[in-house]
Structure 1
């Protein structure tokens, strides 16, 4: 079955939803059919591409996508072998797009499924037991991996519904006959994979598994095997295939090299006959590898790709090898002598370069794969009673964990999923999330994260996040979504690569003509000898040039930089900002929760002791997540304990929050309005101080004033100093009053001219915009919902951990920790990535200029023979890979940790 389209949005602005499984099937069937006359409905589609051979394949694939009118906003990631685009499914179905792309490019495409919610994949020899059974509460629908989906209505009639986009040998809409005994018998011949979609808050994974296991004949049910990510699977397959092609070619090439170069009696015609046969096999491999894709790109996209030049060159070399063989048989050998070793070695070295290229791309994708840190097994605590070192455990598949579970973490093992420690103590290496090499002490009620490594102690942990929603999954999802975006500098690389092959083709023709006439008229050679000699120069010129270095210069660095930054807990949601961040001239920090800890404490209370007033204050603020409200509630609860009071929060109606001002509401059964916020919004006069103020009015009368205090984060003053040392202007902006803002600014040495107070969300956005109007590149760091507009306005919006989801969705970069020096690491990684991109471009330019001059004979005495020109891809691409991988070997946070430890 086709996966559920994620985020499908029609032109009318309504988001498609289905209230039931049957409605869902009807909706998606109409979408897949490409109904005519309806409004345009765009779905975001991701495809995995098989068959990419080098870094210069991107232009042809991008052009093929641009030729399909139903597609817009397409991006291609050549390293991950993925494409993403918005598809108007009311005009064209996904299967039609895949067929058309395959026809135009020759590559194979498979849709990457991104299911919503929790899914359990089961395997059964007889799936009819599962399809025919009543669904337990919490299971929403069943999806067959054999391209069929079974709906409740269809099962009642003993009929199956074909999945949208799949006809399954019947016309769409035609009913399938009743489930027969023959079908049941046939189904048991092999294992069927069934996806069970369920609500994890209503039913657990083990409960789902045990329910269906109980209704299957002989309990013949098991979990489906865990497969690797599609991008990695494709990368592994292509690496294995490229390596196999190289080894086969090498096996047939080596005897030819022995016949040509070893002292074996070159007058023996048998060696020439054997060389012809072996070279023909090698040429067949080359034809299979290079010709189909080259012709498809030329015919359907009008592009001359590198495969075209390779196909022409290798074919020409082989043809003239045969010509040389014929002249040798007729005892009229050409001046160039034997040619078979040239053509076969040329093909073999090209295949070697492709194999190394594929391996490097696969290793790059694998090196930044966060999901590999997910542990597949868990020790489930099954004993009842007190938790302790003697708890009884059972090893289960991690996918069968559910809410309410406790699991044991033995020493020196990875933590399965996010949770809260309920017994034991240990030190945990959290470098996977934080980038910090020093282990963190964990004890009772401490939070632990999936993928982090436990130390010498043992822990019993209460599960708080299921595997599909834990830290690993969240980070991996953000990284994978970001990897498909491209920085603007990639446009330059695409433009150069697009003109590269035609330019090299023209240069190759000129080289052939120049050497043809030089040899004929200057060196007085025969036309036959001149043609063969000129061809050797032309072939070497065409083959030695390589746009792969240009094509991989940017995406390889972006991929490695994204993985490196994720290792330090920095997630680039938009890789374009990887290029922009290095140019930052101004950084604007929100105060509360960013520069300060956001853990406010009430230091003074001035107001009535009326239980009624306190009850209304608690009722108004108890559901508010703002740091000020949380601090006031905490103080009031502690004050009650100290005084032995028990005040019940009043029930409030019509509660409305005004970002930057405060909150208002009405007590149930009373006409008065209660407000809590800053004094300016309330219109009351309060003596200004260096504390944060929260005033409360009832019916417009001031009844209470809370003075709160916050403290800067550890090391914040050092971060501000280092930023200013880089000539970056530091600003602070807040919705707080002038007193506390100035106090923090003075402590951190931020100029008063660069601070603003009592700012509403629109004021923060306006402040950033004013800086941008002066030509400044602004980075904004914040964590609250009221920072969202400024985060979106800034050139680089940075969201601090523990902030709101609204702020996170508006940001370009997400910091998974609360350490402020991560901003410095962000800037360092941005600069390092840019330097490596420039280095890659420089190397690609230097290599191609020098190699083409040497291959074309411009240096006369120093040239690259056509037999060795096939090494061009290997020689040009390896430095690009090494330059990019250098980022993985550097610890960008070491110097900042050293400063903090002093």
Structure 2
């Protein structure tokens, strides 16, 4: 019976079993109703070009639309896998099953983007991980899964535990393949000693044939088992029209194997089975080191994740219950005993204790916490039982957010890495062309003096071609950027520095302007009142109520001062409360106007006052009459001057922006060595200043920790927030310094610059290596064995150079 291809999945079936149909005078045949339905779906959506992109590739027929998709809408599932974006949309990472080629990625993205309610759908072709953002009010997750299944694919949530299992499995798999390759190589070397001894002293043809057969037995499992990873990688590369490193290794080893088989079965010349095993072994060692590097990155994440418990004790209806950490809700009351780890962020409501925060901030000494203080997930209660109220669920807690950010940064690529990948793609095709031309040159043009006998002409030309293919493998070029970036990101994470994307390493290394906020960045952010001047008698409770209504650092400092120096304070309900950006606050009480803030705010209301202090000044006025003045000072961080000096060594132009007055700004900047300082700036002024810098061609990094810095941070090329900064600041930042230290800021620049420098060194090593070794190989001075060793050594050199980041060497 005749077999024909299904018009959708392209699989072959007997014609009699197919479903015939005619669309637009075009004869079509489908293997099942599912394929027929998908074809109509794509045709109606105008996506027929999918079949052009698919070419001769085959795909799986559509899956049945199971009822079990309802599990994706369960609360328990959504709490575990779904996050909320800043805009309030839902977000999930899915693994799309059934993707075989770029056409599959294109089809899935097109279908998802054309679905009402889906905001974003990006699929990573290398690992088939899809990030989907959607509007819950328009579409449910189960409908999205059904949409994916309707076109022949399936989806399940990305789970970091699965990723860890796969990384461990890959490491074990590569290790077993490497063991087989090493075993075969060591034994074939012993046979090689006999063969090459016989080459100089003489060897019977029968003995020589036995040696060749022994080499064949040892080489075959090495090529087809140990070397399977290269065949697989080369196959998928060709399917996507890419000639990659795996294809070069597989083709070089296979051609050498075939030629050696020809010699084994009676051809004239020497076999090169030993070269086949060495090519596979040496390159596999490089691959194994790469897998170890990736597993090391996963282990870094595991170490952070392992600091969290699996269950927690909550107080509900007066009784204690043990629940999974995934089930904790905002507002739940949790009990934490001595030695236990906080599973989520929250606020203490009962008891006091000291907490070990070294896993988050790196602080070695325990921090005392009492009622009203915030505790972070991943920190350890060291000495007393407490109860606290959860302010975040598990997936949004501090430690979980850190893990997510590190995972995202490890999968992102810098611009220099993207460029290197593009070079390596065209590089492989160029090398194959050079190798083929080398073969033709040696076979047809090389003088006779290069050959012992004319019969060896083909063998010599063939072996030189193989040497060119093997020695020029772009392993080092392919490893140059990802390995260095991987080590850099992992090292940053160990130092409490979270880069949300790997590409920020390159941007920070290229930065030429660092903008810093004053309060909380250069200073400790802990204002204290140094002087209190009462100009007129007034009800102190009015001031206390006004500052209690604000979370600003100055308001908190004054509130604390009043509580420590005044008895019987009481809170009064104020009306018409208002905040003025970078100026102050106002309110009313029984038609009395209350005003508190800096000199700029008083100028707006034409209130007379003096401003001749080098401290921050808070003015309090009632009915536009100044009644009290507070002088406040903030402690400069002890290492600020030293860090600023070292940061200047990176060629950075350092600028301080603050909403404080000129006197304070000048005093702080001169003490720490900052040459440029701008005062009395609103959040919009700060953002405008950064915009102007970028328009002039500067690459700007900004560090800040307050809500008033959020706008300016969003305008900078790299936004750095201190770990104790406001949630909105951290959300808009690219880099988070968990321990809130200026040393962390310095370390960010040090590791970024070192990583970028080593990336450029790695690229230089790989390019110089190829520029030197390829001509030598073309000239016939390198045998395949030495070519494989040389290529592997270049990869090891790149890996070793990248590890200098981890070892702290310059």
Normalized against structure 1, the TM-score is what? 0.67
Equivalent in the alignment of 2:15: none
Q: Does 1:317 align with 2:261?
A: no
Q: 1:405 aligns with which of 325, 334, 338?
A: 334
CA contact (8 A) 2:312 2:334 kept: no
CA contact (8 A) 1:546 1:876 kept: no
Q: Does 1:238 align with 2:220?
A: no
Q: Give the distance between the partners of 1:554 and 1:827, measured in 2 at CA.
A: 18
Deviates more, 1:553-562 or 1:579-588: 579-588
| Superposed displacement of residue 539, structure 1 | 1.0
Superposed CA RMSD in Å reads: 4.8
CA contact (8 A) 1:93 1:165 kept: no
| Superposed displacement of residue 686, structure 1 | 0.8
Q: 2:596 aligns with which of 676, 679, 684?
A: 676
Q: Give the distance between the partners of 1:65 and 1:677, measured in 2 at CA.
A: 61
Q: Give the distance between the partners of 1:493 and 1:419, measured in 2 at CA.
A: 45
Equivalent in the alignment of 1:647: 570
Q: 1:744 aligns with which of 645, 668, 685?
A: 668
| Superposed displacement of residue 774, structure 1 | 5.1
| Superposed displacement of residue 761, structure 1 | 1.4
> What SS does the corresponding residue of 1:164 show, helix, strand or coil?
helix
Equivalent in the alignment of 1:820: 742
- Over 3 Å counting, the alpha-carbon distance change for 1:304 and 1:47 in structure 2 is farther
- Over 3 Å counting, the alpha-carbon distance change for 1:91 and 1:856 in structure 2 is farther
Equivalent in the alignment of 1:487: 414
- Over 3 Å counting, the alpha-carbon distance change for 1:256 and 1:634 in structure 2 is closer
CA contact (8 A) 1:286 1:311 kept: no
Instruction: Name stretches of at least 5 consecutive residues in structure 2 with no aligned partner.
Output: 1-68, 75-87, 196-202
Q: Equivalent residues in 2 for 1:279-290 (5 A)?
A: 279-285=219-225, 288-290=228-230
Q: Equivalent residues in 2 for 1:259-658 (5 A)?
A: 259-262=191-194, 267-268=206-207, 269=209, 272-273=212-213, 275-276=215-216, 279-285=219-225, 288-299=228-239, 301-327=240-266, 334-335=268-269, 337-367=270-300, 369-376=302-309, 403-410=332-339, 428=356, 430-435=357-362, 438-440=364-366, 442=368, 450-451=377-378, 458-463=383-388, 467-517=394-444, 521-523=448-450, 528-602=455-529, 603-611=531-539, 614-641=540-567, 644=568, 646-653=569-576, 655-658=577-580
Equivalent in the alignment of 2:106: 68
Q: Equivalent residues in 2 for 1:39-58 (5 A)?
A: 46=93
- Over 3 Å counting, the alpha-carbon distance change for 1:835 and 1:697 in structure 2 is same
Q: 2:115 aligns with which of 77, 87, 90?
A: 90
Deviates more, 1:590-599 or 1:718-727: 718-727
Q: Give the distance between the partners of 1:793 and 1:419, measured in 2 at CA.
A: 31
Q: Give the distance between the partners of 2:769 and 2:763, measured in 1 at CA.
A: 10
Q: Give the distance between the partners of 1:25 and 1:400, measured in 2 at CA.
A: 16
- Over 3 Å counting, the alpha-carbon distance change for 1:460 and 1:23 in structure 2 is closer
Q: Give the distance between the partners of 1:235 and 1:873, measured in 2 at CA.
A: 25
Deviates more, 1:396-405 or 1:758-767: 396-405
- Over 3 Å counting, the alpha-carbon distance change for 1:629 and 1:853 in structure 2 is same
Q: Give the distance between the partners of 2:285 and 2:679, measured in 1 at CA.
A: 63
| Superposed displacement of residue 687, structure 1 | 0.6
Deviations 1:424-478 (A, max 9, x none): 97794x5543346x54465767876555678xx7554545656544442232222
Q: Give the distance between the partners of 1:282 and 1:597, measured in 2 at CA.
A: 62
- Over 3 Å counting, the alpha-carbon distance change for 1:342 and 1:826 in structure 2 is closer
| Superposed displacement of residue 747, structure 1 | 3.8
| Superposed displacement of residue 255, structure 1 | 5.6
| Superposed displacement of residue 531, structure 1 | 1.0
CA contact (8 A) 2:609 2:626 kept: no
> What SS does the corresponding residue of 1:694 show, helix, strand or coil?
strand
CA contact (8 A) 2:351 2:387 kept: no
Deviations 1:319-345 (A, max 9, x none): 211211222xxxxx523x233333344
Q: Give the distance between the partners of 2:144 and 2:487, measured in 1 at CA.
A: 42
Deviations 1:565-617 (A, max 9, x none): 22222222343332233344443322223222322233214355443xx5554
CA contact (8 A) 1:432 1:568 kept: no
- Over 3 Å counting, the alpha-carbon distance change for 1:725 and 1:169 in structure 2 is closer
Q: Equivalent residues in 2 for 1:707-726 (5 A)?
A: 707-724=631-648
| Superposed displacement of residue 238, structure 1 | 1.8
| Superposed displacement of residue 520, structure 1 | 6.2
CA contact (8 A) 2:414 2:504 kept: yes
- Over 3 Å counting, the alpha-carbon distance change for 1:798 and 1:539 in structure 2 is same
Equivalent in the alignment of 1:837: 759
Normalized against structure 2, the TM-score is what? 0.74
| Superposed displacement of residue 688, structure 1 | 0.7
- Over 3 Å counting, the alpha-carbon distance change for 1:491 and 1:666 in structure 2 is same
Q: Give the distance between the partners of 2:261 and 2:697, measured in 1 at CA.
A: 66
Deviations 1:596-642 (A, max 9, x none): 2322233214355443xx5554444423211122223333444442x
Equivalent in the alignment of 1:177: none
| Superposed displacement of residue 714, structure 1 | 2.6
Q: Give the distance between the partners of 1:443 and 1:628, measured in 2 at CA.
A: 22
Deviates more, 1:781-790 or 1:717-726: 717-726
- Over 3 Å counting, the alpha-carbon distance change for 1:509 and 1:735 in structure 2 is same
CA contact (8 A) 2:584 2:596 kept: yes
CA contact (8 A) 1:543 1:869 kept: yes
Equivalent in the alignment of 2:48: none
CA contact (8 A) 2:352 2:370 kept: yes
Deviations 1:818-872 (A, max 9, x none): 32232222221222112211221122123333443443345x3xx2x22354445
Equivalent in the alignment of 1:881: 799
> What SS does the corresponding residue of 1:780 show, helix, strand or coil?
strand
Q: Give the distance between the partners of 2:744 and 2:706, measured in 1 at CA.
A: 18
- Over 3 Å counting, the alpha-carbon distance change for 1:887 and 1:447 in structure 2 is farther
> What SS does the corresponding residue of 2:748 show, helix, strand or coil?
helix
Equivalent in the alignment of 1:694: 618
Deviations 1:183-231 (A, max 9, x none): xxxxxxxxxxx99xxxxxxxxxxxxxxxxxxxxxxxxxxxxxx985343
